[in-house]
Amino acid sequence: MKLSIVSGLNEIRNTQDEISKNFSKLCEFLKSINYDGIELSLLEPEKIDVKRINEIKDSYDFEISAIGTGSTYIRFGYSLGHQNEDIRKNAIKRIKEYVNFAHEIQSKVIIGLIRGRFNFESNSKKEKSNIKSSLKECCRIAENSGVILLFEPINRFEIDSYNTISESIELINEMGSGNLKLLLDSYHIHLEEDPGFIWDYLEEITDYVSHIHLADCTRRAPGTGHFDFRTFLNIFNSAGYKDFASIETIMKPSFEEVASESSEYLRLILKS
C-alpha cells in the first residue's frame, strides 16, 4: 500500500514558475517523511504546465495518486446531478479537463462532491437519474483516455445521494465500466456504515476499491480519534491492495505537522 496526502497548487493565482516551485517543495518535503505520492485538489488543471509537473515528480520518483474535483462544485456550482442541463454539461466539461490532465500525469480522477446536492426544484430520484446519465458520459470520456474514475460514497450531511458503500457499488455495477472504481473514505465510513458489519463487508468488496482516503472520526489526522485504522488497513493489506491510501483531513495545526504525524502513525500500522 502506498501513502499520499491531499494538497492544492493554487493554480488560479500562481504563475507557472510559482506552481512548479511549490510543487517541487511539496515533493521534496513529502519524500523526506516517507510518502510515495501526492493527491492534488485542483480547480483548473488546464492552467498547469503538465510537462513541468511530470519532470518534477519523476525527479523525486513520486506519483500523483489522484485528482480531486470537488472545488468545481464548491466554486462554480457545476454538478453532475443538477436539474439544469447546462450546468450538468458544464460539470462534464470540467471532468473532461481533469481526465485530460490525469491522462498526462498518469493519475485518477475523483467523483465526489461534484455530484452536487438537490434543491427545492428537484428531488433525490431526479438527481440520481441525472447523476447516472452524466456519469455514463464521464465514463466514456475516461475510457477513451485510459483514465480511472474514483466514485466516492460521501456522508448524508454533505451530499444527498450515494452515501453508502453498497449504494455506490450498485451504481458502479449498473454503469458497467471498467474505468469506474470505488474510493473509500474512513471518515464517511465512520458516519454512514454499520460498525457491527462493516469489517466483514469490506473484506467482500476490496476488488472494487482503487483509492482510499484517511481521516479520523474527528476529521483530523489519523490517530487523533477512535477510528480503527489498524483493522481497516489490514483488510486491504491482506487482500493485496497495492494502490494509494491518501490523507484527507483538516490540516491543523499545520499541513507539515499533519503530514509528518500521519506518516509516522500509519507506517507503524502498515508494518505490523
Domains with residue ranges and CATH for the chain? 2-271 (3.20.20.150)
Provide DSSP, 127-153: HHHHHHHHHHHHHHHHHHHT--EEE--
pLDDT tens digit sequence for 12-45? 889 999 999 999 999 999 999 999 999 999 999 9
Q: State the average pLDDT for the chain.
A: 95
- Per the model's pLDDT, the better-predicted residue between 143 and 126 turns out to be 143
As separate numbers, helices (DSSP H) first and strands (DSSP E) second, the chain gives 10, 8
Residue 176: name the closest of 149, 144, 139, 148 by CA.
139
Confidence band, pLDDT 50/70/90 cuts, at residue 271? confident
- Kindly tell me if the per-residue pLDDT of 122 is higher than 90: no
Confidence band, pLDDT 50/70/90 cuts, at residue 186? very high
pLDDT tens digit sequence for 80-101? 999 999 999 999 999 999 999 9
SS3 content of the chain, % helix, strand, coil (to 5): 50, 15, 35
Say which residue the cell 474514475 belongs to: 149
pTM of the model: 0.96
pLDDT tens digit sequence for 213-255? 999 999 999 999 999 999 999 999 999 999 999 999 999 999 9
Indicate if the alpha-carbon torsion angle 271, 4, 61, 107 is positive or negative.
positive
218-229 residues labelled b (16+ CB within 10 A) or e (exposed) = eebbbbbbebeb
